[in-house]
Amino acid sequence: MWNGGPARGLVINKEDPFGAYLAARDGSLVNFERDNTIIRRMDPNRPFYKPEFWEKVQKGDQNGNTEDPSYGCMPGGVPRMGPPAKIVQTATELLFFYVSPPAQGWGDQYRIIPIDGRDHTPLDQLDGTWKGESIGHWEGDTMVIDTIGFNDTSWLDIGGYFHSENMHVIERMRREGNTLTWQATVEDPDVLIKPWVTNPRVLRLNSDPKAMLEESLPCVERDLSHLVNREHH
């Protein structure tokens, strides 16, 4: 089990094949804190878009309550979902389980990630999805997860940060003692000037053997028709 500080993140390693992970400072299994949205909107680490896309990003940010897909109960996608809340490892694959923050409605999600040495399916043979096709491998004591094959519907984060179907995401997870670190690099030359590296998210080990993941509340959109301005959550 992992008890997070101000940031969150987790990783599996070769000696610790499974576990559930806590994310908030109070030990909650929900990856959310009340001031999370405000902090993220002020973060100077933002993806750099080509000039021809600045207006689109600004429009998405200004109208986030109606255009952000996660506010309409759509999946968060990769890398927006961040690190998982629970990992199970077998000899040939990793299973990632996610729970949804209260302010976003993508619900319980999972990813099945092969670690058997296979190659990616050719991109032109993949149907773009929210979470893409992920393949993992070890680089020393770091798990590297390479993902392609996305749709262009999800956002990288709040702020109108869209991406193309050709986005390529590399996640890195590493454990040092009782600390786990997750970080992602987004490559999308169709729309970005340069790759975007997310801020690292860090967790500390929580040894409670009874900790379990709570089921996410169902997402039911009932607010869009009642919005009177463009204020964000």
pLDDT in tens, 76-91: 999 999 988 888 888 9
For 36-63, the pLDDT digits (tens) are 555 566 677 899 999 999 999 999 998 8
For 137-165, the pLDDT digits (tens) are 999 999 999 999 999 999 999 899 999 99
pLDDT on residue 36: 56
Contacts of 44 (CB under 8 A, 6+ apart): none
Q: In this structure, is residue 225 part of a structural domain?
A: no
3-state helix vs strand vs coil in the chain, percent to 5: 15, 30, 60
For 5-27, the pLDDT digits (tens) are 332 333 445 555 445 555 555 55
Is pLDDT above 90 for 126?
A: yes
For 114-125, the pLDDT digits (tens) are 999 999 999 999
What is the tally of structural domains in the chain? 1
**Nearest to 112, CA basis, from 84, 139, 140:** 84
Structural domain containing residue 79: 2-213
pLDDT on residue 160: 94
For 173-194, the pLDDT digits (tens) are 998 877 889 999 999 999 999 9
Q: In this structure, is residue 224 part of a structural domain?
A: no
Q: In this structure, is residue 197 part of a structural domain?
A: yes
Q: In this structure, is residue 194 part of a structural domain?
A: yes
Q: Distance (Å, rounded) from C-alpha 143 to C-alpha 67?
A: 34
Q: In this structure, is residue 60 part of a structural domain?
A: yes
Q: How many CB atoms lie within 10 A of CB 24?
A: 19
Q: In this structure, is residue 226 part of a structural domain?
A: no
Handedness of CA 212, 8, 135, 178 (dihedral sign): negative
pLDDT on residue 197: 98
Q: In this structure, is residue 229 part of a structural domain?
A: no
Q: What's the Cα-to-Cα distance from 155 to each of 4, 13, 33, 81, 210, rounded to whole Å?
A: 24, 29, 20, 10, 34
